[in-house]
Amino acid sequence: MADAGFKSGLEDVVALTSDICFIDGKEGRLVYRGYDAVDLAQHASFEEVVFLLWYGRLPNETELSALRRELAESSDPHSAVRDLIASLPVNTAPMDVLRTAVSLAGIYDPDGNAMDPEANHRKAVRLVAQIPTIVAYFEQSRHRREVLRPNPQLSLAGNFLYMLTGQNPSEQSVKALDTALILHADHELNASTFSARVTAGTLSDIYSAVTSAIGTLKGPLHGGANEQVMRMVDAIETLDNVRPWLDRAFAEKRKIMGFGHRVYKTDDPRAVVLRRISYEMGETAGTLTVYQLLEAIGAYVRERKQLHPNVDFYSGSVYRMMGIPADIFTPVFAISRIAGWTAHILEQYHNNRLIRPRAEYTGPTHLAYKPLAER
């Protein structure tokens, strides 16, 4: 059915050139603007990585302080967005809240539909600053708790945990979240970034492109997998049940969430770091039950299917130990990936050409029209 020019799912198709992110799928390396993401996760802050992705170089102290200030000043969404969040049914999926709230935020953005680079930069700052607030506001609002406004003294990671849980987070949690945000910040032409670039490629505005990206991230084959991994862990419950549960899933040809990757053919370097954090946070919490279940699942899936865990496999366990509810795991992914989305959208605007592939048509071509009465 496919000829040589057709690749199902666009596998290995190079759709554009980019200076932002490089994945070596054989070696298991992820590189942002020349820097190893694992190295950045160890030494940098998420805010530094946002700057790096946007500008192609690490900031100096003055530049980093200026970005932190801009983010802090922009972190509270327009009152219309806050009102929308407060009015939504409490059982709305948080990714749906985020998609809708970001779209609404675009309507009230002071730069409107302006497309000059300065306006787009300001909009990118607002998006990075407000997505965590939107997610935290909804969590507070659905539990009818007092909505805490952002605290400009805290880092983006610390502020999110503070607003989400209503408590001052531990240093370990803030560091772990900051590391997770760095590791999720960009990943070349993943599905959500591609959809953002397709939308930006029509010269539509940045909010429209990010709204497309959020809708794409939501699916369980992409960012939605982290939530499903923890649902699987909860369903398996005990070490004795790992093999029977997975055997059933294999027999039913179900995909095991948190495994496999289109590009990595070895360990996903992000999963390696998150695995260590999952262990460390479990030790601090005094329970390694979830970690041990993940290890047993990982070992058996590798043995039976030769599949490696991806970034979504350990992240949920880390987020749970910070007090983040399961349906907010994928929104946390968005809180990070907005850095990469905006970098890619700005790059797309800078050197734009409409993205418009072809389909290999497989239907008939010469049917004769039959009048309604004869059908």
Active site residues: 261, 312
Q: Using CA atoms, how far apart are residues 263 and 28, in angstroms rounded to an integer?
A: 9
Among residues 221, 235, 239, 299, the one that binds ligand ACO under rule CB under 6 A:
221
DSSP code for 328? G
**What token pair was written down for 298?**
């990982």
Q: Least distance in Å: CB of 25 to ligand ACO?
A: 11
Among residues 29, 78, 175, 222, the one that binds ligand ACO under rule CB under 6 A:
222
Residue with tokens 């603007």: 33
Q: Least distance in Å: CB of 195 to ligand ACO?
A: 13
Binding region for ligand ACO (CB under 6 A) out of 21-29, 153-161, 167-175, 255-263: 255-263
Q: Using CA atoms, how far apart are residues 242 and 227, in angstroms rounded to an integer?
A: 18
Phi and psi at residue 253, in whole multiples of 5°? 60, 35
**DSSP labels, 42-67:** HH--HHHHHHHHHHSS---HHHHHHH
**What token pair was written down for 311?**
């970034």
Q: Least distance in Å: CB of 227 to ligand ACO?
A: 11
Interacting positions 300-329 with ligand ACO (CB under 6 A): 305, 307, 310-312
| Residue of minimal Cβ distance to ligand ACO | 260
Q: Least distance in Å: CB of 118 to ligand ACO?
A: 32
Q: Least distance in Å: CB of 286 to ligand ACO?
A: 29
Q: How many chain residues bind ligand ACO (CB under 6 A)?
A: 19
Q: Which is nearer to ligand ACO, 257 or 290 (CB)?
A: 257
Among residues 260, 285, 323, 355, the one that binds ligand ACO under rule CB under 6 A:
260
Among residues 101, 196, 257, 332, the one that binds ligand ACO under rule CB under 6 A:
257
Residue 13 lies near ligand ACO (rule: CB under 6 A): no
Residue 219 lies near ligand ACO (rule: CB under 6 A): no
Q: Which is nearer to ligand ACO, 104 or 196 (CB)?
A: 196
Q: Which is nearer to ligand ACO, 9 or 363 (CB)?
A: 9
Residue 331 lies near ligand ACO (rule: CB under 6 A): no
Q: Using CA atoms, how far apart are residues 212 and 200, in angstroms rounded to an integer?
A: 10
Q: Using CA atoms, how far apart are residues 193 and 213, in angstroms rounded to an integer?
A: 6
Residue 186 lies near ligand ACO (rule: CB under 6 A): no
Residue 271 identity (one-letter amino acid)? A
Q: Least distance in Å: CB of 310 to ligand ACO?
A: 4
Among residues 29, 121, 243, 262, the one that binds ligand ACO under rule CB under 6 A:
262
Could you give the dihedral angle defined by the CA atoms of residues 35, 55, 57 and 160, in that order, rounded to the nearest 10 degrees? Answer: -70
Residue with tokens 């370990």: 172
Q: Order of strands across the sheet with 29-32?
A: 21-24, 29-32, 35-36
Residue 7 lies near ligand ACO (rule: CB under 6 A): no
Among residues 101, 176, 225, 332, the one that binds ligand ACO under rule CB under 6 A:
225
Tell me how far CA of residue 266 lies from CA of 9, 99, 148, 256, in angstroms: 20, 33, 42, 17
- Helix, strand, or coil here: 206? helix
Type and span of the H or E element at 94: helix 94-108
- Residues in contact with ligand ACO by the rule CB under 6 A: 9, 190, 221-223, 225, 255-262, 305, 307, 310-312
